[in-house]
Structure 1
Amino acid sequence: MTKRIEAKYKINRRLGVNLWGRSKSPLNSRDYGPGEHGQRRKKPTDYGTQLMAKQKLKGYYGNISEKQFRRYYDESVRRHGDTSENLIGILERRLDTVVYRMKLVPTVFASRQFVNHGHIKVNGRRVNIPSYLVRDGDVIEIGEKARQMALVLEALGSPERDVPEYVSFDTHQMKGTFIRAPKLADVPYPVQMEPNLVIEFYSR
C-alpha cells in the first residue's frame, strides 16, 4: 500500500478541500491543514495557486506519479483543441477512472486496486493496468467472481455519486460503455478543478 493511499484524507486537509466529496472526510470537522501549523494560511503566489491546482487534479485521480502526469500534459499539448480540456479527457479515459465513474467501487484508490487484481474486462479481454486508456465505444465489464463482492454491492447502492452521462452502466449485466471523452463541465467533480492553471504551471 502506498503512502498516498494510506493518507488519502491527509491530502484533503493539506489542500483544504473535500476532494472526493465523501462524508467520511476529516475536513468536514477540521477544515485546516494537518500538523501544528495547519491553521496558518498565507495568501498564495501565482506559482502557489498553479501548484495547488495541479496537486488537486493529481490527488483526485489517485496515485498518479509526477512523471505520468507530465506525460498526460505533453499528450494534451500535442492534440488538437483546448489543452486543458484535452487533459481532462485523457484523465477520464483511464480505466481506473472509468471503473470509478461506473460506481463499481467507492473510491478511486479502490478502483486502482480493483483493476490491478484483474477484476475488469475491456471488450471481453482482461485488463489489469489502471492507466490503460479506453476508447469511445469500449465495453467495460466486471468479472464473474467479483460481482458479489461487498465492496461492489456497497458502491452500487451508495447515494453519494451518480453515473455521468458520458458513461453508461447496466447494473443487471454488470457491463457498461465508455461513450465519449467528457468536457470539463461534464465531469462531476465535488470541488472546482482548474486545469487551465495546471497548463500554466507546466508552461512556465
Structure 2
Amino acid sequence: MSKRESSKYKIDRRLGENIWGRPKSPVNRRQYGPGQHGQRRKSKLSDFGTQLRAKQKLKGYYGDVSEKQFRRTYEEAARRRGDTSENLIGLLESRLDAIVYRAKFVPTVFAARQFINHGHVNVNGVRTNIGSYRCKAGDVIEVRQKSKQLTIVMDSVQLAERDVPDYIEADHNKMVATYNRIPGLGDVPYPVQMEPNLVVEFYSR
C-alpha cells in the first residue's frame, strides 16, 4: 500500500491503542509496545510526553503523514478564525484520502492513499491522484468506472466494522460520495479518544 503498509500496526502497538478500531490490530492481543523492551513498565508521561503522544496518535491515524505536512496543516488551522483544534480536525478530514476511507471505498487510510495515487479516483469529474488534496464542502468524489469492480472496493463496502459518517453521503451502488460539510471533532467517528487540543499545546509551546 503506502510506504508504511508493512509496519502500520506498529503504530498501534507503540501507542498501546487500536487507533483504527480494526479487528486484526495486535493491540487486541498484546497491549504492550513492539520490540524487546516493549513489556517494560510504562513510566508516567510528562506534559510534553502527553502532548507528543496526542500528536503522534492523530498524525498516525491519518496514514502517518509526514511531520512537515502535519505541521503545515496545524499552521493553517491556527491562521483560520475559530477554535484551532476544531479547525485542525476539519482540515484533516477534508483530505481526499480521509474521505475515500470514510466513504468505505477502501478498508484502510493507507489503502486510500495508494488507491488515489494509482489514479482510481475522480473529484468533480477530474482524475485526482494526490491523497492530501483538500476537498471542499459539496465536492463529489467518485471511483473511476474501470475501478469500481476491483476486489478491494467490493470487499470494503461490505465491512461491518465502521459506518459512513453523516457529513459524507455515499452511494455504494454508484461508488460516489459527496462531502456535505466540514465536520467538527464531535462528528468524527474515531475509535479512540483524540485530543487535538493537546496537539495545539504541543505546537504552541
TM-score normalised by the shorter chain: which range applies? over 0.9
Over the residues paired in the alignment, what is the CA RMSD in angstroms? 0.9
Which sections of structure 1, spanning at least 5 residues, go unmatched?
none
Q: Tell me what 2:46 maps to.
A: 45
Aligned length: 204
**8 Å Cα contact 1:5/1:63 also seen in 2:** no
Q: Tell me what 1:55 maps to.
A: 56
Percent sequence identity is 65
Q: Tell me what 1:31 maps to.
A: 31
The answer to whether the aligner puts 1:73 opposite 2:74 as a matched pair is yes
Q: Tell me what 2:142 maps to.
A: 141
Q: Tell me what 2:115 maps to.
A: 114
Which sections of structure 2, spanning at least 5 residues, go unmatched?
none
Distance in 2, matches of 1:4 and 1:197, equals 25
Distance in 1, matches of 2:163 and 2:12, equals 21
Q: SS at the partner of 1:129?
A: coil
Give the partner amino acid of 2:156: A
Give the partner amino acid of 1:135: K
TM-score of the superposed pair, with normalisation by structure 1: 0.98
Distance in 2, matches of 1:20 and 1:114, equals 18
Give the partner amino acid of 1:11: I
Q: SS at the partner of 1:177?
A: strand
State the 1:2 CA deviation.
5.7
| Cα displacement string for residues 92-138 of structure 1 (whole angstroms, at most 9, x for unaligned residues) | 00000000000000000000000000000000000000000000000
State the 1:3 CA deviation.
5.2
Give the partner amino acid of 1:37: H
**8 Å Cα contact 2:104/2:157 also seen in 1:** yes
After superposition, where does 1:1-204 map in structure 2 within 5 Å? 4-40=4-40, 41-204=42-205
